[in-house]
Amino acid sequence: GAAYKLVCYFTNWAPGRPESASTFPRDLDPFLCTHLIFAFASMSNNQIVPETLQDEKILFPQFNKLKERNRELKTLLSIGGWNFGTLRFTSMLHTFGNREKFINSAISLLRTHNFDGLDLFFLYPGLRNSPTHDRWKFLILIEELLSAFQKEALLTHRPRLLLSAAVSGAPHIIQTSYDVNLLGRLLDFINVLSYDFHGSWEKFTGHNSPLYSFPEDPKSSAYAMNYWRNLGAPSEKLMMGFPTYGRTFRLLEPSDNGLQAVATGPASPGTYTKQAGILAYYEICSFLEKARKDWIGYQHVPYAYKGKEWVGYDDIRSFQEKAKFVKAEHFGGAMVWTLDMDDVKGAFCGNGPFPLLYTLNYLLLQDEVSSTPLPQFGFSSAMNSSYPILKGRKAEAPEVRGKHKNITSVPGGGVMTLGRETGSLGNHTVALRGTAVPGARTMTSVDPQSVTTAGTTEALEHFQTETLSKTMAPNKKSVFPEKVTVPTRKMSVTYNGQTVTQQGVNVSSVWELPQGG
């Protein structure tokens, strides 16, 4: 098999989108991903059930028929999601009898419809009205599922059903909800939701899924992945989340349009996804036609703005750089939420079908990449790095400029997964804007939402802020922090033929990357 997994979610509401955005399982390329996960199944009377008759009669058969074309493909059925809530999980976990009923129903449903495994999308044990002890009962369920899957495989002489889980990338949720060490031993792989770090529940613009963050700021993919690894999860079982959507904001003033600009809520809903606050990648391609684009150098992700509308998103280039991080850090692979928010049919972005997924497929599942590699951990505002040359496909680099404000890191971070075009779990945030000079104005933003733990609302208010000043290089438009922390155990940087290995890690200087990567 491939050295890396590429785990891709498909949502059962994708067929219901209008016109050219409607996606059925038959529209998927069975060779794009190593694992396909169908989201979501439901639960009734402590038993897993298809959510709709269409799922059972049309979508399940189409989904698993993809394996006829790719014999190596594995398919899983996911249960849960944001809108599913926690109540039915808590009820099912409560007694051995309830869990046994669920496990038996899971084996039956998976085998009946030719799935290869089960994905648990419980958001989150011990939070959102889930009692604290659900953390341990969730672990017991996983142990019992694994044992039952092993016994069933022995009895039927079939491959054991796979078992995975989608988990938060926010430290305060991880500490509450998971025993990382034991989960790492039991699950076949772990899908880290390394996105939704910022969104329209906040009062300042922020990127949905930055690759890196400032020191002590946990809201980035690199921080989340290393947090899981440092708590004992095996690197090879950790899948980093790649979102195929962006999160939007409505700016207070069109002229204040950088990172950390004052925002008053979500931008307009997308034509097809129809939810204020998010845009699918294919909708972003349309948005970009008349928008200004910028690249956040230290986060390795783009954003765009048009009038009062602002979106932080991922594109081919940011997927490329995130995939390089996965490989450099020897994680198990990538998880994509979702297949159906990429440009499935190539009708919107001009780069053919599935431009984001083909980028990941090429970088993670194929050996050769026809592009000049970047230094592993460089920081630059103007990296005109080349994209991988996808076989027979044309990919264009985005316009890149450096334009972002002083940033304040905030401890903690509310993370939700994007479910059925859903709401959000915010976290109380204090954001400091302006310049790091005497008399700088400070503006605070406290999210009205809070996290409910064991039925009690906790106001997770953070009034600790850290002002990070930036330095301006002569004759450069871009600005960078004096110090950026990459939360990893060991790092090697190669630049101009010299290799430096650091443990820690504080990168105390800025590397300007050559044009073209």
Backbone angles phi, psi at 396, to 5 degrees: -110, 140
Six token digits for residue 448: 């009205």
Cβ atoms of 369 and 388 within 8 Å: the answer is: yes
Residues 242, 292, 377, 279: what is their CA dihedral angle, to the nearest 10 degrees? -10
**What is the enclosing helix (H) or strand (E) of 88?**
helix 87-93
Interval 197-217: pLDDT, tens? 999 999 999 999 999 998 889
Give me the count of residues in the chain: 517
Integer Cα distance of 189 and 312 in angstroms: 28
Q: Say how far apart CA 318 and CA 304 lie, in whole Å.
A: 14
Rounded CA gap, 190 and 228, in Å?
10
pLDDT of residue 9 exceeding 60: yes
In percent, the amount of the chain with pLDDT more than 90 equals 69
274 versus 420: the higher-pLDDT residue is 274
Answer left, alpha or beta for residue 99, where phi above 0 means left and psi between -120 and 50 means alpha: alpha
Residues 6+ positions from 484 with CB-CB distance below 8 Å? 212, 214, 215, 298, 379, 506, 507
Residue 19 confidence class, pLDDT cut points 50, 70, 90: confident
Please name every residue paired with 457 in a beta bridge, in sequence order, or none if there are none. Answer: 452
Question: What 3-state DSSP class applies to 289?
Answer: helix
* Residue whose structure tokens are 């997964």: 417
| Contact (Cβ atoms closer than 8 angstroms) between residue 307 and residue 454 | no
**Cα 205 from Cα 223, distance rounded (Å):** 20
Q: Which residue has the tokens 């930036």?
A: 470
Q: Which two tokens stand for residue 331?
A: 């994680």
pLDDT of 374 > 90? The answer is no
- CA dihedral for 89, 93, 95, 98, sign (positive or negative): positive
Which element (helix H / strand E) includes 311?
Answer: strand 309-312
What's the pLDDT at 490? 40
Q: Which domains does the chain have, with CATH numbers?
A: 5-244+314-365 (3.20.20.80)
pLDDT higher than 60, residue 489: no
Q: Interior CA angle at 74 toward 3 and 119, to 5°? A: 100
Secondary element (H or E) of residue 177: helix 171-177
Where residue 119 falls among pLDDT bands split at 50, 70, 90? very high
CA dihedral 158, 161, 162, 168 (to 10 degrees): 180
Residue 2 has what pLDDT? 61
- Phi and psi at 364, nearest 5°, equal -95, -30
Per-residue confidence (pLDDT) for residue 367, from 0 to 100: 53
d(CA 448, CA 427): 8
pLDDT in tens, 205-262: 999 999 999 888 999 999 999 999 999 999 999 999 999 999 999 999 999 999 999 9
Q: Write down the pLDDT at residue 317.
A: 98
Q: Residue 358 burial by CB count (10 A; 0-12/13-18/19+): exposed, middle or buried?
A: buried
180, containing H or E segment = helix 180-186
pLDDT, residue 224, reads 98
Residue pair 111/65 in contact by the 8 Å Cβ criterion: no
What is the pLDDT, as a whole number, of residue 510? 25
Q: Are strands 5-11 and 333-337 parallel, antiparallel or unpaired?
A: parallel
- Is 506 a residue whose pLDDT tops 80? no
**pLDDT tens for each residue of 298-356:** 999 999 999 999 999 999 999 999 999 999 999 999 999 999 999 999 999 999 999 99
Least Cα distance to 238 among 179, 167, 170, 178 occurs for 167
Q: How many CB atoms lie within 10 A of CB 240?
A: 28
CB of 357 within 8 A of CB of 30?
no
The residue behind tokens 């309830």 is: 98
**5, containing H or E segment:** strand 5-11
- CA dihedral (311, 314, 316, 318) positive or negative: positive
What is the tens place of the pLDDT at every residue in 124-161? 999 999 999 999 999 999 999 999 999 999 999 999 99
Which of the residue ranges 297-306, 365-374, 464-473 would you say has the lowest mean pLDDT? 464-473
The two structure tokens encoding residue 316 = 């081919």
Is the pLDDT assigned to residue 484 strictly greater than 90? Answer: no
Please state, in angstroms and rounded to a whole number, the distance separating the CA atoms of residues 492 and 72: 35
Residue 445 CA neighbour count, 13 Å, CB half? 24
